[in-house]
Structure 1
Amino acid sequence: MAGMDIEPFRIAIPDADLADLHRRLTDARWPTELPGTGWTRGIPLDHLRELADHWRTGFDWRAQETRLNAFPQFTTDIDGQRIHFLHVRSERADATPLLITHGYPSSVAEFLELIGPLAGDFHLVIPSLPGYAFSTPLAGPGWTMARTARTWAELMRRLGYARYGVHGGDVGAGISGLLAGLDGEHVIGLHVVTDPWTAAATATFIPGSADRLDADDPVDKLIKDRMDAFRTDGSGYLSLMNSRPQTIGYGLTDSPLLQLAWIAEKFGEWTDLPVDRDQMLTTVSLYWFTGSGISAAHTLYDQAHSSEWGTPPGVPQGFAVFGSDETVRKLIPAPATAHWVEHERGRHFPAMEAPAELAADLRAFFGPLT
């Protein structure tokens, strides 16, 4: 790989950056909270105080840094942008290459519990999205999902993988779907994860979705209620980044308290099963130490203003639905031949909530395609 402009990479956050984080958390200026509001107006004060105190006094960044560095990491420049990625090769030469893409607000740390169960069957390529963590600084505007998908195709070409599978959730699902459409000659299959609330939220961005719902149908009513709840109460974070990423970026870059609240709120609202607190704080730390809160917001802005959606994938498709209920089949345009697995528990971050179940789904889907 050295001859392909791919360089080895190790995470090494300076001690001064750790000291600065601890100082800022110690000196944080805390707001008041209206009594009796719970989660209805954002992350509760007591919950965030407990997380911030653990981040400052109990969380061991060096241990998490060592854990991340246990996996081979590299960087390369594609389309003018530095791309960071984990590349964990199986001992089996005939293992299936699998490209795994995270979403927002996430990072490669999302998949740490998934790597071990998958490493025997797959050569794993897990990149940081452009503008996230060590795929920074963001070289310029225009990093939409479609552009990232083209970048991923080039990354896999540089790694020498002529045939590979793709998997993702959230933004990573969109990128994986676009990649399967534009590089179908090399992609052997597309596997994505979703949940009923994410599916309903996504439907709010598809013109005419609400018009197709029958008010007298109880399943359609549940979908509509979730779409309305996302518009009125759940989309504020996204609306701000989709319209004013530079403005919110000042706070995300200057205040670890804001960066922590911005991400921890979503983990609190979007999970069903417990997520290891230190694993979540590893992702928060990656955003903080690399200053990528603002650059990630810029990519969400670019996607919100993009109309490039590529072509439908013509490869085998697999879906793993977590927290499944009767709404998802109506919301997901899965072909009749799609691999479809439903899980009663888990939600938006199944690689952290239910890694064993997700690993089993990936092996079951991609196994026959090798």
Structure 2
Amino acid sequence: MSSEVHAFTARASDAELDDLRARLAAARLPEAETVRGAAPGPARWKQGVPLADLVDVVHYWRTAYDWRSFEARLDRIGQFRTTVDGLGIHFLHRRSARADATPLILTHGWPGSVAEFVDIIDELADPDDPDAPAFHVVAPSLPGFGHSEKPATTGWGIEKIAAAWVELMGRLGYRTFLAHGGDWGGAITTVLAGRFPQHVLGIHSTLAEAPPGLSTDGLTAAERQWAEGTRDFWQNRAAYAKQQATRPQTIGYALVDSPVGLLAWILDKFAEWTDTADSPFETVSMDRILDDVTLYWLTRTGASAARIYYESHRSIDPGLRVDVPAALTMYPRDIEKCPLPWARERYHQIVRWRAPAAGGHFPSLEVPGYFVTDLREGLAAVLAAGR
């Protein structure tokens, strides 16, 4: 590794954790929602996070959740920092013991973090099956997220982040590498592949960014339903994105000052975007969601993370081509699902396409077993196509 890369450890002070518990105990909550469906059922969430559910999570967060366990897990994987373009970038780095391992960068999105990957990194680096591909895994925190520094100026959009990832991987000795992402991580992975094909061997993504303005003519009924569902999401269920794209500073005050406000803002997305009948805790443990939320809270990144929408909302270059091999997986309850004919308009070498029967926006947390297998097989297909 380059001398510009340094080992990193972060420890929340006891005073910070005590302050969090005190704020949770003193929280002022609104009255219950006026739309109350019977549990289980999505109708309970039509006005947002139901009061009863929030009260339960707040109680667990205050009385039982163990942040120290999550800190220890990050340390076991390996934490590092380096400075790129004047900004400190935090990342997890787990080298495989296998001589045939391939470098792989995993990029999260919002409201995610590196917490999405901590349970799968060891499996990717050192699989039990000797015939399964192995990877040297790098999982950076996006600028303004987690333990990465907060940009003090504008400009840190998806194009600059992708260039920073190339610099980061080079400092680790990885001149060429694979890339995976979902949500903003999927957009950044697409930019990586399109702008830096000399470095990117191929990609796996759970987000396919089709060029704008494509017609639904010729799509199957199922593909048309995907397109209409994505359009409905952006027209009717994306107020959070409009807020963060236009006024991230305003919502940021609530997200940095109130742990309950931060929890509700993020929990709402875990509920709506997971493949569940009612509660996100049907597939994702409360501890895993609180790992993510607490990371935002302790690093005070509610505002800075929201600004990625201000920098990059709908900003991917319409003419960007991806010519390196690509494996794409569209999970059924994800918020955006791109029909294959549309995906082919940007990704010109799709070597593997999957539409599994289960899973949503956070597949590494919802269906980790399937996710790891799909990622391995997708990247194996990418590598085979590139030979």
TM-score scaled by length of structure 2: 0.86
Alignment match, 2:245? 242
Same amino acid, percent of matched pairs: 41
272-281 or 213-222, which moves further after superposition?
213-222
- Matched to 2:69, the amino acid is A
Pairing 1:229–2:232 present: yes
**Cα 1:276/1:328, change in 2 over 3 Å:** farther
Equivalent in 213, 220, 224 of residue 208 of structure 1: 213
CA distance in 1, matches of 2:115, 2:19: 22
Structure 1 residues 365 and 220: alpha-carbon distance in aligned structure 2, compared to 1, 3 A threshold: closer
Summarize the Cα distance change of 1:220–1:110 in structure 2 as closer, same or farther, 3 Å threshold. closer
Quick one: distance in 2 between partners of 1:5 and 1:335? Answer: 36
Change (3 A) 1:77 1:343: same
1:15 aligns with 2:14: yes
Alpha-carbon distance between aligned partners in 1 of 2:373 and 2:31, rounded to the nearest angstrom? 45
Provide the rounded CA distance (Å) in 2 between the counterparts of 1:161 and 1:247: 40
Partner of 1:180: 193
Match of 1:147 in 2: 160
**What CA distance in whole angstroms lies between the structure 1 residues aligned with 2:198 and 2:143?**
24
Residue matched to 1:6? 5
Report if aligned partners of 2:58, 2:260 keep a CA contact under 8 Å in 1: yes
Preserved CA contact (<8 Å) 1:117 1:356: no
Distance 1:318 1:213, change over 3 A: same
Name the counterpart of 2:151. 138
More displaced 10-residue stretch of structure 1: 323-332 or 155-164: 323-332
**Match for 1:272: what amino acid?**
D
Deviation at 1:365, TM superposition (A): 2.6
Contact 1:145 1:303 in 2 (8 A): yes
1:254 counterpart residue number: 257
1:304 matched to 2:313: yes
Is the CA contact (8 Å cut-off) linking 2:328 and 2:350 kept in structure 1? no
C-alpha change, 1:81 and 1:182, in structure 2 (3 Å) is same
For 1:272, the equivalent position in structure 2 comes to 275
CA distance in 2, matches of 1:305, 1:356: 32
Deviation at 1:214, TM superposition (A): 5.7
Compared CA separation, residues 94 and 336, structure 1 to 2 (3 A): closer
| AA of the residue aligned to 1:237 | Y
Hey, what's the Cα distance between the residues in 1 that align with 2:358 and 2:314?
A: 34
Quick check: 1:178–1:310 contact (8 Å CA) kept in 2? no
Equivalent in 97, 102, 121 of residue 103 of structure 2: 97
Kindly tell me: are residues 56 and 331 of structure 1, through their superposed partners in 2, closer, same or farther at Cα, counting changes over 3 Å? farther
Long gaps (5+) in structure 2:
37-43, 127-133, 277-282
What is the one-letter code of the residue matched to 2:304? S
**Residues 281-296 of structure 1 aligned to structure 2 (within 5 Å):** 281-296=290-305
The code of the aligned residue for 2:261 comes to L
Give the C-alpha shift of residue 357 in structure 1: 1.4
| Partner Cα separation in structure 1 for residue 75 and residue 58 of structure 2 | 25
Matches within 5 A, 1:14-163: 14-37=13-36, 38-120=44-126, 121-163=134-176
User: TM-score, normalized by length of structure 1?
Assistant: 0.90
Displacement of 1:251 in angstroms is 0.5
Residue 265 of structure 1 aligns with an amino acid whose one-letter code is D
Supply the distance in 2 between the matched residues of 1:132 and 1:310 (Cα, whole angstroms). 29
Compute the displacement of 1:272 (Å): 1.0
SS at match of 1:272: coil
Query: Which of 328, 331, 344 pairs up with 2:339?
Result: 328
Q: Separation in 2 of the partners of 1:69 and 1:225?
A: 43
**Alpha-carbon distance in 2 for matches of 1:143, 1:30:** 35
| 8 Å Cα contact 1:48/1:261 also seen in 2 | yes
How far off is 1:136 after superposition?
2.0
Shift of 1:336: 6.2
- Give the whole-Å Cα distance in 1 for the aligned partners of 2:216 and 2:265: 32
What is the total number of aligned residue pairs between the two structures?
A: 359
Which residue is 2:358 aligned to? Answer: 345
Closer, same or farther: CA 310–111 of 1 in aligned 2, 3 Å: farther
Alpha-carbon shift at residue 233 of structure 1 (Å): 3.2
Q: CA deviation at 1:94?
A: 2.6
* Structure 1: tracts of 5 or more residues without a match: none
CA distance in 2, matches of 1:170, 1:25: 30
Contact 2:35 2:47 in 1 (8 A): no
Partner of 1:263: 266
Q: Distance in 2 between matches of 1:305 and 1:220?
A: 22
Aligned equivalent of 2:129: none
CA contact (8 A) 1:351 1:358 kept: yes
Question: Given the superposition, is the C-alpha separation of residues 33 and 285 from structure 1 closer, same or farther in structure 2, using an over 3 Å criterion?
Answer: same
Measure how far apart 1:297 and its partner are.
1.1
For the residues of structure 1 that align with 2:186 and 2:234, how far apart are their CA atoms?
21
| 1:338 aligned counterpart, secondary structure | strand
SS of 2:142's equivalent in the other structure is: coil
- Matched AA of 1:106: G
**Shift in alpha-carbon separation, 1:332–1:43, aligned structure 2, 3 A:** farther
| d(CA) in 2 for partners of 1:215, 1:31 | 49
CA spacing shift, 1:340–1:225, aligned 2, 3 Å: closer
Cα RMSD for the two superposed structures? 2.4
Q: What SS does the corresponding residue of 2:88 show, helix, strand or coil?
A: strand
Conserved 8 A contact 1:222-1:327? no
Question: CA separation in 2, counterparts of 1:293 and 1:95?
Answer: 36
Measure the CA separation in 1 of the matches of 2:77 and 2:160.
27
